[in-house]
Amino acid sequence: MSSVPERSDIDEEYKWDLDSIYASDEEWEAAYEDVAERVPELASYEGRATEDPETLLELFETMESVLREVSMVVSYANLRSSQDTRNQEYQAQAGRAEALASKARSAVSYLDPELQELGRDGVAEFVEKEPELDAYEHYFDDVLRTKEHTRSAEVEEVLADLSEVTGASSDIYSMLANADLEFPTVEKPDGTSVEITQGNFTKLQKHPDREFRRTVHEEFYDRWADVRNAVGTSLKNSVKKDVKTARIRDYETAREAALDGPNVPVEVYDNLLDTVRDNLGHLHRHAELKREAIGADELRMWDLYVSLTGDHGPEIPYEQAKEYIVEAVEPLGEAYQERMAEGLDDRWVDVYENRGKRSGAYSAGTYDTQPFIMMNYQDDSASMFTLAHELGHSMHSELANDAQPWHDASYEIFTAEVASTVNETLLTEYLLENVDDDELRMHVLDEYLERFRSTLFRQTMFADFELQIHEIIENDGALTPDRFDELYGDLKETYYEPAATDDRIAREWERIPHFYYDYYVYQYATGISAAAAIVERIREEGESAAADYREALALGGSEYPLDVLRTAGVDMTEPEPIEDAMSVYAEFLDEAAMLLDLE
């Protein structure tokens, strides 16, 4: 019998409150039907959107009314789908909602080409005649700067309409990984059994018994070997989709196209890869500390997640984690702290793992809803830090939604990953400074080191892999499961040079959903670098720096990501933030070595 409960066995207080969006599926259905009938209103402006300022303003107001409701319909359906990926009713709801969103995007796909035809001078003239259009200043600039990569209205409509189909690789992978793929049940050293899942794999890899870790590692990746052709085909086609879409829009590479969306130069990406590779010695030292801590002659892949303390660490129940996190964000101001506490009490969070639930964690929601955080909480320090991370995203949304109109509230991932990691860093510093429990303090230090390893180094390694596989397709090469294994295995050997790799770890690419997100993962690494710099500034300057940071969060999407971070005092076009983050990592490694009497 599985140790993972059914959703019905979990108390309501630990489930997110979807009734706050729609009180029932019937209410959702009514909202779906109503907004579906309104989508054609958007298409009715085609060919006349820019005939005069009044018509353009009217279109913007209609777009906001329709798209805000569409986003709520989509959010509710996707959240329901995440609760139990096995439930066909939920999947049908999500599919219908995504189709509606695609139809809505298609219905307004003419707008960007028409604005670009109007040009900067024409837009300026419109704003002069209709001052209310000035509120769309950033939107106009964003559309006009990408004129050379925008196709005709007809092509844009086709691309928008195809978005539902072009996401198929990701959808298929998600269903395979979360709904269809089942992993073995293994016997623990105490004689009890545990089912390996996507949600608990990392925790099981932290078990103090080395032979048990090896068993979990082998059983887990052997199961992935059974579906390597399906996953390899899915990833290959996802990469091809990225490349072909970029070529349609006249970009030289898929990376250039992906980074141009948030207006981030490719030099930022290159700077990250180069700086991290130049500092792999810090990661190698971390690996050596792990080897010493477990008393092994050689570090193996099933040892990478193990604690430097050599044990599980203390249990941290969800209620305790909430208390620690709320206390930790005190430097960000009383209003920030109180709002987070209220959100935790108001069922923002879907806390525990249940059968069929999507793996991992995320923060979601819309301009008109509360935030929703999906967790698979495991009563450990890693889960506590993940909760702090997702609360950073949620609070970012709250501040941006309060300060910005709908069309400027949504922010880019590049800045989102800063907000989440600032919370993690503050949590680390709070616990190290305020908790008397030496065991917990050591595990907090270890957890932060692990997050540095997995966020700055591991995500950069992922970004390196993503760049390589896209370049192969761009150069008319072929991607096969064997080629994926070869590329990934080589990177794993380079990044974890002191450790011994194996054939199984070369298949790790199969379990990473972010490879379907089109140059997404590098932003985790830039995010933790920027966050380290921001927290250091808050420590040194106090409330003035915290106010700058809150202002940056409140900007939402009203400015480009690099400019938002400059408001918080960080320039990510330079290597200094990444190098400074490396220094923080090195200092924590020194402290860990001293506390554990290693080296």
CA dihedral of residues 390, 394, 399, 402 (deg, nearest 10): 170
SS3 522: helix
How do the residues of the chain divide into helix, strand and coil, expressed in percent and rounded to 5? Answer: 70, 5, 25
State the CB neighbour count (10 A cutoff) for residue 403. 16
Return the number of other C-beta atoms located less than 10 Å from residue 205's C-beta.
19
Residues 506/492, Cβ–Cβ less than 8 Å: yes
Residues 594, 73: Cα–Cα separation, whole Å: 53
Pick the catalytic residue from 390, 508, 510, 559: 390
297 burial (CB, 10 Å; 0-12 / 13-18 / 19+) is: exposed
Q: Report how far residue 326's alpha carbon sits from residue 388's, in angstroms, rounded to the nearest whole number.
A: 9
Distances (CA, A) of 68 to 48, 101, 103: 23, 11, 14
Task: Give the closest residue to 435 by CA, choosing from 447, 427, 425.
Answer: 427
Cβ-proximal residues to 598 (8 Å cutoff; 6+ apart), any chain = 289, 292, 293, 308, 592
Paired with 193 in beta bridges are 187
Backbone φ and ψ for 131, nearest 5 degrees, come out as -55, -25
DSSP secondary structure string, 270-325? HHHHHHHHHTHHHHHHHHHHHHHHHT-SSEEGGGTT--TTSS------HHHHHHHH
127's tokens: 């704003």
259, 519 contact by CB (below 8 A): yes
- Round to whole Å and give the CA distance between 132 and 225: 58
Residue 176: name the closest of 241, 230, 225 by CA.
230
Query: 47 in helix, strand or coil?
Result: coil
Q: Is 195 a catalytic residue?
A: no
Distance between CA atoms of residues 8 and 87, nearest Å: 13
Count CA atoms within 13 Å of residue 529 on its CB side: 29
What is the enclosing helix (H) or strand (E) of 56?
helix 53-83
Q: Are 49 and 111 in contact, with CB atoms under 8 Å apart?
A: yes
Strand, helix or coil at 186?
A: strand
CA–CA distance, 504 with 217 (Å, rounded to integer): 8
Token pair of 279 as six digits: 């500092």
Residues marked active site are found at 390
